[in-house]
Amino acid sequence: MSALCARGRSGFSGCSRVLCAQLSTPPHQEQQAGTECGTTPVNLSAPEKVDNRAQLWSRYHEMKKLVYDLLPPGVCNLLNPATICANNEISLGEIEIYGFDYDYTLAQYSDMLHKKIFTTARDILIQQYKYPEGIRNYDYIPDFAIRGLHYDIEKNLLMKVDAFHYIQLGTAYRGLKPVPDEEVLDLYGGTPHIPLIEMSDFYGKVTIGPTMKQFMDIFSLPEMTLISCVTDFFISNGIDFDPVHLYKDTTDAIRDVHVKGMMYDWIEKDMEHYILHGEEVFAVLNRLVKHNKKLFLITNSPFSFVDKGMKHMVGKKWRDLFDVIIVRADKPAFFTDRRKPFRRLDESGSLQWDKINSLEKGKIYKQGNLFDFLRLTGWRGSRVLYFGDHLYSDLADLMLRHGWRTGAIVPELENEIRIINTEQYMHSLTWQQAVTGLLEQMQTYQDAESKQVLMEWMKERQELRSVTKNLFNPQFGSIFRTYHNPTYFSRRLIRFSDIYMASISSLLNYDINFTFYPRRTPLQHEAPLWMDQLCTGCMKTPFLDEMVHIR
């Protein structure tokens, strides 16, 4: 049996198929088969009482031994956190033009930025919005929220929603405390399902009708935490408040931190601490230019901020690497609204009034729109690959309307893969899947004793699901999964990006002409005919040490 589980990437496939085979035949059917084949003596007298309970537990222990025996030592640590994952086949050899967003795409910021945004917005709430002094006792909680959560403004509930619009029970929080499942169900008419009409609009924003916002921005981590802390203060102190006001005031306070330039000031004054992996950004851009790729930048940030950051990461001559530079682009409107023409900025950052008839290398442009961009550059279709961290503001329109290829930067991926690589995760997930299989197969046992066993398994499964969820984040779990299903975030990620990765520097691990082939993972009605189908893209892409010659 161990031969089926040769170490390495293919080990799982063998294990999974053995598990499948073991699960596919309930014990009572095995018994009948044995009888028909004549391998068991036929007893024509009164049938012996079958101890279903003992049989079920026997199958359970067999399965447990199988799972642990078949997970070979070293099976963990299979995935490379610096991998690039493909949703769609894409050949870098066919990409002639590379575009980039700036914040959290080229410039990765350290987590200390979240703490600073939180503290500053909290103090704005106290000083300008006259919120109670007591909320100053709340400090930023780094691991409270995760990206992609939904927030029901009127019900004051922060929660994770899956790809089918179902709330993951156990992940609904009011303030800093979980809301019991029964209360959540009551609030939504007896179901954890959120009707489409109540969801946020296409870009995750709240429009006139819906009161549900999805937090997709990485900057929204301090925002979610601040809403939760202030709510906790009000509830703990028995203070009546309107959650709609709280949402608006908190959002405005966070926006003030951005719009009034405070955040830009902090970063500019301490780039060493705030900006991560600068030298790798230089290596990525330089390599692309050396291979005759065209580069452009479309960012919503102001030029002076981007200029300082790029000088820090890439050097004084960073502009020489780019063919077109657009700042204050106002994405996502940039991709859909034709009305704003490009304007040029001079070297001092002043707006020029001349009409823009071409986008020239070395010059800086502000605003504009994608339609003019396409007309002036001719950079259309699948020759262009654009990288951004915001699934809606950066990638959705490009994917759905314009046919550019898209790359999503998902910094959380690195930590999630590190967790997936742990032995604890591997064992609890595999055993959880095995228990799920046992439950599916043995549900035909309907006598009282068997039902009791099945209930115990159900309870164990639920505990295992919580254990695996909590490894990622004790409140909300992984950004990619709600127990079994993909999250709402994952669904959008798959829909709007051809490839995704933790950092732009992951590109350094791949040849300049590398083709990404997503694994053909089986659909629910398909059989895994080839072991490769059971592996994710991660497991097939090169490991850092194998590709070290490229860097």
Active-site residue list: 101, 103
Site string for Mg ion, 120-139 (x = CB under 5 A): --------------------
Q: Does 104 bind Mg ion (CB under 5 A)?
A: yes
Smallest distance from the beta carbon of 389 to Mg ion, in angstroms? 4
CB of 489 to Mg ion, least distance (A): 16
Please choose, out of 93-101, 411-419, 456-464, 504-512, the segment that lies near Mg ion by the rule CB under 5 A. 93-101
3-class secondary structure, 108: strand
Tell me: does residue 223 bind Mg ion (CB under 5 A): no
Q: How are the residues of the chain apportioned to helix, strand and coil, as percentages rounded to the nearest 5? A: 45, 15, 40
Structure token pair of residue 237: 């102190």
24-32, 100-108, 175-183, 487-495 -> range binding Mg ion (CB under 5 A): 100-108
**Is residue 386 part of the contact set for Mg ion (CB under 5 A)?**
no
Cα separation, 130 vs 28, whole angstroms: 70
Binding mask 265-284 for Mg ion (x = CB under 5 A): --------------------
Exposed e or buried b per residue across 487-502, where buried means at least 16 C-beta atoms within 10 angstroms of its C-beta: bbbbbbbbebbbbbbb
Nearest C-alpha neighbor of 81 from the set 430, 496, 524, 501: 501
Helices and strands in the chain, H and E counts: 19, 20
Q: Does 217 bind Mg ion (CB under 5 A)?
A: no
Name the minimum Å distance from CB 550 to Mg ion: 26
Beta carbons within 8 Å of 246's beta carbon, 6+ residues apart: 156, 227, 230, 231, 234
Report the C-alpha gap between 171 and 179 in whole angstroms: 8
From 256, 307, 323, 389, residue interacting with Mg ion (rule: CB under 5 A): 389
Cα 312 to chain centroid, rounded: 28
Judged by beta carbon, residue 101 or residue 323, the one nearer Mg ion is: 101
Q: Which of 164, 214, 213 minimizes the C-alpha distance to 191? A: 164
Residues linked to residue 482 through DSSP beta bridges, in sequence order = 485
* Integer Cα distance of 387 and 395 in angstroms: 8
CB of 105 to Mg ion, least distance (A): 5
Q: How far apart, in whole angstroms, are the C-alpha atoms of residue 276 and residue 273?
A: 8
Using the rule CB under 5 A, is 101 a contact of Mg ion?
yes
Q: Give yes or no for a contact between 238 and 181, defined as CB atoms under 8 angstroms apart.
A: no
Q: Nearer to Mg ion by C-beta: 250 or 393?
A: 393
For residue 210, the 8-state DSSP code is -
* Shortest separation between residue 212's beta carbon and Mg ion, angstroms: 23
User: Which range, of 10-18, 176-184, 249-257, 382-390, touches Mg ion by CB under 5 A?
Assistant: 382-390
Q: How far apart are CA 471 and CA 422, in angstroms?
A: 10
- The CA distance from 443 to 454, in Å, is 7
Nearer to Mg ion, 169 or 281 (CB): 281
Number of chain residues interacting with Mg ion (CB under 5 A): 4
When the beta carbons of 101 and 280 are compared against Mg ion, the nearer one is: 101
Q: Which two tokens stand for residue 54?
A: 């003992």
State in angstroms the smallest separation of the CB of 518 from Mg ion.
25
Scanning 68-76, 98-106, 362-370, 423-431 for contacts with Mg ion by CB under 5 A, the matching segment is 98-106
The piece of 97-105, 126-134, 234-242, 322-330 that touches Mg ion (CB under 5 A) is 97-105
Task: Extract the tokens encoding 94.
Answer: 């066919």
Of the two residues 372 and 389, which places its CB atom closer to Mg ion in the complex? 389
- Nearest approach in angstroms of CB 332 to Mg ion is 11
- Out of 103, 223, 307, 323, point to the residue binding Mg ion (CB under 5 A): 103
**DSSP E strand boundaries for 8-53:** none
Residues making contact with Mg ion (CB under 5 A): 101, 103-104, 389
